[in-house]
Structure 1
Amino acid sequence: MFYGITAATASFLLAALLAALLRACALRLALVDRRRSRPVPLLGGVAVVLATGLVAGACQWRGVVPLGTGVVRLLVAGGAVGVLGLAADLWRLRRRWVLAGTVAAAACAVPYDGTGPLAGAAAVIWIALVATAFRGLDHADGLAGTVGAVTAFGVGVCAAAELMDGLAVLLSVLAAALTGVLLHNWHPARIALGASGSLFAGFLLAGAAVFTRAGQPPGTGAGVLFALTALVSADAVLVLLSRRLAGRPPLRGGPDHLAHRLRRLGLTPQGVVVLLGAGACGGVLVGVLVHIGRVGETAVLWVAGVSAVAVPGLLRVRVYEPRRTGPNTAARGPRRVPASRPGTGAHLTPRRADFPVRQATGLEGVQVSGPLRVRNR
């Protein structure tokens, strides 16, 4: 236990230091999140990947806490996903290619000897989906780091209960690295995880959860896995349903996540993170208690019930701008009319292409509908 605490402390300090150094590099390279109202550097995830990999690798190399072959394979696959996420941040890769690469990495990390071929294939898809959904949490300051640290702690407890010391140490190192970056990612964020850190964290968490539940009955295992990632799953389902009902592409970004809707209801950015972090903690707590046998398997149904109530309720919160309708609606918004040139005597009247205007004619009781035309007088 002493070595685990030492490794976690080292990971926390290293991640905090690397995040501060990489922030300046990201600003110099203009690698920022342009979807925010202010530019936020995106290299915080690189600090998480480096801190987790270096500290866990040092534990394996020195033989202090041997990770084991399966855990090392999971860490290497997670590192590859982190590199893929960095490429997505640099070159704006399409989400479908990122998802395909995540599926390939998950196929190399799943312990098929414990899950079997069919359950292993399902675990591959589940790991890729959780990692992709976890990436969606990085739009809010501090949210991905908070949910990731809480989930890593819970899955680490499950791993310790199964006497998987190497996996438990890896998860404690990951939780500490996320907390170290969270010092810079709390609102107002000075750095963000980006696709690199969010995909890496989600991949490791989902893969570690599969390791802890390998060999368990499929029904119980699926329930515990859902409880451990209930908040991430609820956010993904909410987004997919919202975009489906609005006729929007499912992989196109938008202000339709849990945090966006809670902000619409009046919560502050810090309040949103605290509330969602508490929700993630509740789901993780139920999953841990079911895993160690302190509560019955039906406790997972409570988590599912809360999600089933919260998702339709938040789905009613309006997040999309109403579409413009009408025959004269401009596809690119209202046109700009250039100012009149001096000396020409031309007086230009702005055209209102978006709003039909009725012009009075010389005939009594007769009106003509249509946009105003510009004439030289």
Structure 2
Amino acid sequence: MLYGIAAATAALFLSAVLTALVRAPALRLKLLDRRRQRPLPLGGGAAVVPVTCLVAVAGDWTGAAPLGADVVRLLIAGAAVGALGLIADARRVKARFLLGGTAVAAACAVPYTETGALGGIAAVCWIVAVTLAFRALDHADGLAATVGTVTAFGVGVCAAAEVLDGLAVLLSVLAAALTGFLMHNWHPARVGLGACGSLFAGFTLAAAAVVTRAGHEGAASAGVLFALTAVASADVLLVVLARRFGGRPLLRGGPDHLAHRLRRLGLTPQGATVVLGAAASAAVVVGVLVHLGRMAPTGVLWVAAGALIVVILLLRVKRPQSRRTASVQVGAQLRVRNG
């Protein structure tokens, strides 16, 4: 317990300091997120990933908090996904390579002896989906780090309840590292998480949740896993439906995400992050209570219903027109008037 607190404190401090230090090199190397209104240096992942790995491994080496072979394998796979994300931050990487690399890493992290073959395949698919969902969630200042911190605490409680002490320590370290990074990522952000950090966080959380629920009944496990990642799942569903109905390519970026639509409803950037963070907290609490047996498994249905209602309502928030489209419409109106 005391070592877990000390490790989390060290991770928070190291992540905050290292994030501040990597900002200048990211600017010089032009590792920038150009999807936002202003180019944002992508140094957060280069701080969160090594800090999480080093602090967790230090506890294993010293014997203060042994991780165990399964958790070490999970951490190595997560670090590999983070490295793949760093490459994606530095240069264009096709989606199929990110998908394939994440799938290979997920296949190495799933405990097949407890999930079985079919359950293992389903777990791999779910880990890949959540990992990419967290990548998509990094579309607003502070959002991915906030949701990731909340999720890490929730999964950590579940791991502790299963007496998976090494995994619980890893998740507390990850939560602390994301919190240290968040000090520089809150609006207006000075550093972005990037694919490196968001893929690593999403993969580690998803794989840890699978390990924690391994051996439990399948349908109940699916409900708990969804509740723990409800915000990221809702964001992906919203984007897929919006682009499908709008006739736009699925992989082409655009302001279709949760925070974008909340902003168009009048919320400030900080307000949108707080609202989504609160929603993630509520869903995670339900998932934890169901896992602990303090709430009926049907409680997850309320989370799913709430997420679906939010997605349907936000679909009605119109997407802003591009300048080119707006100018074309204005020109057409002028031609009609001049007749």
Q: TM-score range by the shorter chain?
A: over 0.9
In structure 1, what is the Cα distance between the partners aligned to 2:260 and 2:146? 16
Partner of 1:157: 157
In structure 2, what is the Cα distance between the partners aligned to 1:50 and 1:357? 61
State the Cα distance separating 1:40 from its structure 2 match.
1.1
**Number of residue equivalences:** 338
Deviations 1:275-321 (A, max 9, x none): 00000000000000000000111100110110121111000101142
In structure 1, what is the Cα distance between the partners aligned to 2:145 and 2:118? 32
State the Cα distance separating 1:355 from its structure 2 match.
6.5
State the secondary structure of the residue aligned to 2:304: helix
In structure 2, what is the Cα distance between the partners aligned to 1:244 and 1:268? 27
State the secondary structure of the residue aligned to 1:254: coil
Partner of 1:316: 316
> What TM-score results when the alignment is normalised by the length of structure 2?
0.96
Partner of 1:223: 223
State the Cα distance separating 1:143 from its structure 2 match.
0.3
Gaps of at least 5 residues in structure 2 are none
Q: Which range moved further: 27-36 or 110-119? A: 27-36
Partner of 1:41: 41
State the Cα distance separating 1:39 from its structure 2 match.
2.0
Residues 117 and 353 from structure 1, CA distance in 2 versus in 1: closer, same or farther, beyond 3 angstroms? same
Partner of 1:305: 305
Partner of 1:233: 233
Which structure has the bigger radius of gyration? 1
One-letter code aligned to 1:66: P
In structure 2, what is the Cα distance between the partners aligned to 1:46 and 1:86? 8
In structure 2, what is the Cα distance between the partners aligned to 1:203 and 1:324? 38
Comparing both chains, which one has the higher relative contact order based on Cα–Cα distances under 8 Å and sequence gaps of 6 or more? 2
1:101 and 2:101 equivalent?
yes
In structure 2, what is the Cα distance between the partners aligned to 1:168 and 1:14? 19
State the Cα distance separating 1:119 from its structure 2 match.
0.6
Partner of 2:21: 21
Deviations 1:93-152 (A, max 9, x none): 122221111111101111101111101001001101101010111110000000000000
Deviations 1:48-97 (A, max 9, x none): 00100110110111111100001000000000000000100101212222
Gaps of at least 5 residues in structure 1 are 335-351, 360-368, 370-377
Greater fraction of residues in helix: 2
Partner of 1:348: none
Residues 206 and 356 from structure 1, CA distance in 2 versus in 1: closer, same or farther, beyond 3 angstroms? same
Residues 322 and 254 from structure 1, CA distance in 2 versus in 1: closer, same or farther, beyond 3 angstroms? closer
Partner of 1:180: 180
State the Cα distance separating 1:193 from its structure 2 match.
0.3
One-letter code aligned to 2:12: F
Deviations 1:137-175 (A, max 9, x none): 111000000000000000000000000000000000000
> What TM-score results when the alignment is normalised by the length of structure 1?
0.86
1:77 and 2:77 equivalent?
yes
Partner of 1:291: 291
One-letter code aligned to 1:269: P
Deviations 1:258-278 (A, max 9, x none): 000000000000100100000
Superposed counterparts of 1:182-261, under 5 Å: 182-261=182-261
